Amino acid sequence: MVASALCFASMSVVVKWASPQYGAGEIVFYRSLVGLVAMALMLRAQGIAVSTPHPGMHFWRSLSGTLALVLWTFCIAGTTLGTAMTLNYMSSVWMGAILVGAALMARKGDKVGRPDGRLLLAVLLGFAGVAMVLQPWTQGGSANRPDALLAGLASGLLAAVAYLQVSALGRAGEPEARVVFYFALCGCVLGLGTALAGDGLSGHDLRGATMLLAIGLLATAGQWLMTVAYRHGLVLVNAALHYLGIVFGLAFGALFFAERPGLLALLGTTTIIAAGLWATLLRARP
């Protein structure tokens, strides 16, 4: 999980470097293309068929995950690296919010269900952290664009939806390689469509092609390492180590882009991490 977090943080650095040359759709397309080839080879090596008995579940998981990826790529280009990582890691808080909302809907429909007050408190704490992270922008003088911040928040929500759907696919017996294969396939289609709907595909030079290849390899390695970690490790330990991605993002932002988040933003980041871990702990209990 530590290696996975490092891969995703490193990938975000390369995405930020590549953003002036390539649009978000292009980056998602090339990243997904590398993953698609890798997963196709893995499916063949493991003797797993590409066809699935759950096409609808794969469609919604892949669509929500790909939209989250496009929005996060756009967010990285318009915010500081630490802010982009923090907003994307809000997915645990968003998952708690979805579960609270589902419980409230069940009560309204006279079904069995009651929202966990502690989970609701964790969700509210997470959104308080978001307010602290965004506060430097509201005061002006920040490197964060408003549209990029909104895209980051939306990416965290869609990532939460995708994670819940991945869990459902796991319960349905779908192998991880097939899940990632369809996610990469959707990324290729949606990324290419987004790029063509905009300014089209850009030309390549050696530096650009190297960055795109690095993004794809780092993303694929990070996804695979995370899969291994969740398969063999303890859920709560993995959840805690997962948040090292934010720490790496802040460190890389300072090292490569001279980003210096304010004290309030750092406090908000810490609050989001605490809320996410608390929400994960509550969801992991029976």
pLDDT digits (tens, 9 = 90+) for 255-266: 999 988 888 888
Q: What is the pLDDT of residue 140?
A: 47
Q: Is the predicted pLDDT of residue 277 greater than 80, yes or no?
A: yes
Between 129-143, 145-159, 188-202, 266-280, the lowest mean confidence (pLDDT) is in 129-143
Number of domains in the chain: 1
Name the percent of the chain lying above pLDDT 70. 92
Across the range 3-19, mean pLDDT stands at 95
In the chain, the amino acid numbered 53 is P
pLDDT for position 137: 46
Q: Where residue 146 falls among pLDDT bands split at 50, 70, 90?
A: confident
User: How many helices (H) and strands (E) would you count in the chain?
Assistant: 12, 0
DSSP, res 207: H
Query: Per-residue DSSP letters for 72-132?
Result: HHHHHHHS-HHHHHHHHTTHHHHHHHHHHHHHHHHHHTT-S----HHHHHHHHHHHHHHHH
Would you give the distance in Å from CA 80 to the centre of its chain?
Answer: 16
Per-residue pLDDT of 70-129, as tens digits, reads 999 999 999 999 889 999 888 888 988 888 888 777 766 555 556 678 888 988 899 899
Q: According to the model, what pLDDT value does residue 112 have?
A: 52
Residue 259: enclosing H or E segment and its boundaries?
Answer: none
Q: Which residue has the higher pLDDT, 10 or 177?
A: 10
User: Residues 52-64: pLDDT tens digits?
Assistant: 999 999 999 999 9
Domain that holds residue 22: 2-284
What's the pLDDT score for residue 105? 78
Q: What is the distance of C-alpha 36 from the center of its chain? A: 18
Rounded average pLDDT over 147-153: 91
Q: What percent of the chain has pLDDT over 90?
A: 49
Q: Which residue has better confidence, 276 or 143? A: 276
At 107 the pLDDT is 63
pTM, rounded to two decimals: 0.87
**Model pLDDT, residue 108:** 63
User: Residue 253 and residue 262: Cα distance in Å, rounded?
Assistant: 13
**Rama region for 141: left / alpha / beta (φ>0; ψ in -120 to 50; rest):** left
Please provide the DSSP assignment of 24-60 as one string: HHHHHHHHHHHHHHHHHHHHHHHT--S--S-HHHHHH
Nearest to 69 by CA among 80, 55, 84: 84
Interhelix angle 2-18/206-232, nearest 10 degrees: 160
Average pLDDT, integer, range 20-35: 94
Q: Is the pLDDT of residue 141 over 60?
A: no
